[in-house]
Structure 1
Amino acid sequence: MLTMPAAYAESLQINLPRGATDISNTVYNLHMFVFYVCVAIGVVVFAAMFWSMIRHRKSRGQVPAKFHDNVKVEIAWTIIPFLILITMAVPATRVLIDMEDTSDSDMTVLITGSQWRWNYEYFEHDVQYRSSLATMRDQIYGNLEKGENYLLEVDRPLVIPTDRKVRFLITSDDVIHSWWVPEFAIKKDANPGYINEAWTIVDEPGIYRGQCAELCGRDHAFMPVVVIAMEPDDFDEWIANEETRQAEARAEEERLLDMEMSMDELMSMGENVYTAQCAACHQPNGQGVPGVFPALAGEGMSVDPDGIEDHIDIVVNGASGTAMQAYRNQLTMRELAAVITYERNAWDNDTGDTVQAADIHNFIQGNQ
């Protein structure tokens, strides 16, 4: 890499990408500047070392000089590194300050990490949604050939406009995650209880991919980031359509709160939700993993006649300090009601209990 051009090294994916924003290009230029300074230092140091070994070797009859110290040399090797560090520190500090300057933003997006997906909320618009891995499980398990964007594809990408300053507020509702998009020069930890800030102005429309860069649990590798940058007019049209669609969806959910699903409907939907969200830990047969994930079949709150509210609570809010995540922001109220009903009646639990979407709604409202 010392001799190949920077662009060629980048094409081989052994160098930083130039990115899609001015700040990412500034970071790239800073990286290359520091890299070449280090190369120059290495060349000088190794040249002096090899020259000394060759010119002053014992076989040439050289006799080691006998002196204790040299004030001039000690001053030189103190001042020169200091000046080199200052030369690198000044531009690096300027870049870091620019990267943290989220002022005068045109729009703000709240990014919340959840095991194992991202939640996006647009502050200036009544739009929020979840973004989950879209790679098929058959590809992950080796039953199908891996796709072009294997583990880097989602069902709902984040959509932002080009040529506008977008501020990101990044947090988490469970463990530490990290929202990383290399081409934006953004890598910010998502810490529960804290909010970190970042920003970007994307120059060109396109699709930009990243990942969670913090080891956040069992499905850490299945938590990609996909951002679609649109022309401002296209974004305005998209956001207007999304606001309308989500308003209609909320109205429909309010209507469904007054409707009760039959046991068969709850069990059918609940089985699908359980298979997709719960079976990996608690096992398809509800037996769990002894000492790691508790069993749901025939024991615990799943069969406790007085444990319905506790059952709702742990599915909705999760359990702190355990691998049980909160599904409040990941499933609809009907899905939450269905999976709880399924867990209370599958595997011969047969409690006969049913939980409706209204029960979930009332529980959440009563605990706010």
Structure 2
Amino acid sequence: MSNIRCLRTYRVPDRPSLIWLELETNDGLIGLGETFRGAVSVETCLHEELAPWLLGRDARQIEGISRHLLSPYVGYNSSGVEVRAASAVDIALWDLAGQRQGIPIHEALGGAARASVPVYNTCAGYSFNTSGKRRDIGADDASQGPYDDQVAFMRDAGALARSLLDEGYKAMKIWPFDIYAPASQGQLISLPDLEKGLEPFRKIRDAVGNRIEVMCELHSLFGNHSALRICQALEEYQVFWVEDPLCKMDDAASLSDLRRRTRVQICGSETLGGLRPFRDLLAADALDVVMLDLAWCGGFTEGRKIAALAQAYNRPLAPHDCTGPVTLMAGLQMALHAPTAIYQEVVRATLATWYRDIVTDLPVIQAGMALPTTKSGLGTRLADSFKQRADLVVRETR
């Protein structure tokens, strides 16, 4: 037996959006999970709602636990607190499964579909979202370090593209239109603002030509009219995809209409949550690329079903990470396994800095490719130095 005997969570004040979970079993194993956004609320859900049912359960019964934790009840849809808590649990259960078998999770899922995974750099700087607030910047903002790529793409996107190519990256993602959405709640973008938003893409193509792929992120900030105007203007720059173009990414009719009226590829969306929204959007022919976040969609158990949907509709899959190191390691395991996976998202600023302070192992990236992990389970654990932080908030239920 491998019964769950302890549920333990960790939070730190300087990353208030993140929470880490350990599930300890009576055979001496510890599984690691993570989720992002509303860490205090997730902590409460884990200890007060989920722990009383989880403690004593056989950790090997992952599918049954997943079905219970994602029950069709109030709150258990999309990526609400209950789903994010369930996602952290599921990731930890799969970590335990890999450890019991002595193999990485991608092998436990059925084996790798590829020898390595291409990565793209999301140009997010050092603390995008993790401080609990968005960071919307302009070209005049001060850089926080050599990898403050969010400032760099607004200041000189061409130089940034050269820097990424020098490090082996062959794809990058930027969001220069975000700063123009608040004035009209995303319902209107003027021609002058459209031209300013296009400038980074123009600079990239002038600097490096087609040697780097460029994705455009719109962060669900725009209405149908403004999103269409942006997408059609981006066609000239051969962007690889436009991500989350509409303010309602579960609106299959609007998204399908947008996709028919532009030549750019539409990517959506880590915000959609579990299986059913992806089913509806794929059935409506509304997506070109499926992006999922294992810490928001229900973990590996739900994520592999979303990956199977992507395969059934012959759509590429791209796991999300702009949040935390455990989610990144989980996404890489899925990207190695899923038949249609094409990219794993990374942020070079966080890979080089605070991700390393949280966990013992991170993906090895060579020439723009993430290599398979060789350690069992997720292939990482919380670092001892992290657990010794004086400001660490630890809560345990046995």
* TM-score w.r.t. length of structure 2: 0.24
Structure with the greater alpha carbon radius of gyration: 1
* TM-score w.r.t. length of structure 1: 0.26
